Amino acid sequence: MMLTLVTPQKKMLSEVEIDELIVPADRGELDILPGHAALMTTLRAGILRVRLRGKTDFRSAAISWGYLEVGPASVTVLADTAEWPEEIDKVRAEEQYRLAMTRLQDAGLAPDDHVLMQNKVLKESARLALVR
């Protein structure tokens, strides 16, 4: 099975052979294996894990929301943002997490802004989990 993982800014993986992909979908984690049924779904912020062909270890990336498409022989992940652990600035992630938590507790926050801050908290939590 071939995986392509892209963001608007970069190609993280381009048609790489994989044995397994675990993604944070809107309704829970999905484990994609060869032979998986065709699927298109949205992703939430969290940790994407990929096991390259023939390897036993997973490589992980923090992603924000996006889309996943599973075809007969390929998987495509289009994420708004995605970062490998070595690309994450831990101090900045901690600062962004604290800021999002503070804004989330604001009683005057509009409903749309509340959802945005919840997503920001999920994104920064995933980033921090990878670097800790």
pLDDT tens, position by position, 86-121: 999 999 999 999 999 999 888 788 889 888 899 999
> Across the chain, which distance is largest between two alpha carbons, in Å?
52
92 and 78 housed in the same domain:
no
Give me the domain span that covers residue 127. Answer: 88-131
Sign of CA dihedral 120, 123, 127, 132: positive
Can you give the pLDDT at residue 106? 83
Whether the per-residue pLDDT at 27 is higher than 80: the answer is: yes
Mean pLDDT of the chain: 95
* pTM for this model (two decimals): 0.90
Are residues 75 and 66 in contact, defined by beta-carbon separation less than 8 angstroms? no
52 in the same domain as 26: yes
Q: Is 7 exposed, middle or buried (0-12, 13-18, 19+ CB in 10 A)?
A: middle
Domain count, the chain: 2
DSSP 69: E
- Our CA angle for 33, 39, 41, nearest 5°, is 110
